[in-house]
Amino acid sequence: MYKYWKLNVLLLSLVLVIIAIPGSSKQKALNILCEVRGTVRLRRSRQNIYQPVYGGEFLDFSDRLQLGRGAAASVLCNNLATWSPSTQGEFMVSSGCPSGGNAILKRSNIPIPPRIWDDPAVPYPISPRGNIILDRELTLRWNPVEGATSYQVEITDSGNFRWQTQVNQPQVVYSGNQPFQPGFRYWVKVIAYKGTSELKKASTGFTILSAADTQRVRDEVSQLDQKPLSDDSKLLALAYLYQGNDLNIAAINVLEGLMASGNKTTAVYQLLGTAYQHTGLYRLARERFLMALEKAKAEDNLGEQAMIEASLGDVEYVLAELPQALQWFEAAQESYRALGDEGKVQELQQKLDELKERLGV
């Protein structure tokens, strides 16, 4: 049974996975609306109307919060300072969160990858997945293959390193005696068997994160642990922190844990879909985005709904499901039009024009 993860435990044991070295100066700073009490609404800078919020939303500096009578909000700023407006009125995010200095919470600036091998009939790796990792306990996960009765897993490097095991489930914890070395490249191969017959196989590589980046991330997690927030809010913020450092598998582990504990908010589903999208696992991304969309509609949260619909369009496009992509982009465009966000309306029109040309409609 899932138990709440304390951040000091995560510091020592959680797998961190990144696609590129974190900490780029070009990344956009991120503020998080962690908790709300009472009636709190949000108006994005390019939109005309306020939308209800429930916690977990990211905030730009030019966004505005509107608090009703007796309402309060807790915002985790990009530098990990906290801001807690608690009086009735409207507040620009920049009035409580600084826009200068070194941001710790950032949006990922790594391009979303093209579709990576995710054939359901293949035991393709889920974690690690062609990434740089830091671990004290590496858990390997892969796609379960229908009809498979066992899996052979092997980790090798270009030298003498070799570890091999056979399991019946689509995951295993590395239990070898040889520690992984920073800067070294390793390869994982998974072979699915039905009895003694080989079904399919797949492989990926990973590299160990540098000591300097490891220490930086751990220091940031330690700072987050000291903030006056609930456990769920800290874990959601932790997932944002990891994703901002392109530690997408680490973010996925945190978010899946939150889901297992009963936290099934729009923000959790949406961020999880984005994390899967950034690792090239588009089928899993679609599942989570659809869950997020259902929650957003139930909350009458048109702002989040618009973002999720656009994300679903991107996912279907990569999966070559062009008619579905067209439908999602049209839905997102209508949602953004209702919000008065003409910039997004025009951005989506370009995608729609391209799709219609390809589809001949």
- 8-state DSSP, 104: S
Q: Identify the CA nearest to 211 among candidates 180, 172, 248, 173.
A: 180
| pLDDT attached to residue 88 | 96
* Cβ-based neighbours of 64, under 8 Å, separated by 6 or more: 42, 43, 45, 50, 90, 91, 92, 93
| pLDDT attached to residue 243 | 87
Q: Identify the CA nearest to 195 among candidates 151, 158, 231.
A: 151
Contact criterion met (CB below 8 Å) for 85 and 67: yes
- Residue numbers in the chain where pLDDT is lower than 50: 1-25
Domain annotation for the chain: domains and CATH numbers: 1-27+106-263 (2.60.40.10), 282-359 (1.25.40)
| pLDDT attached to residue 117 | 65
Write down the pTM of the prediction: 0.85
* Cβ-based neighbours of 37, under 8 Å, separated by 6 or more: 71, 72, 73
| pLDDT attached to residue 4 | 38
| pLDDT attached to residue 248 | 83
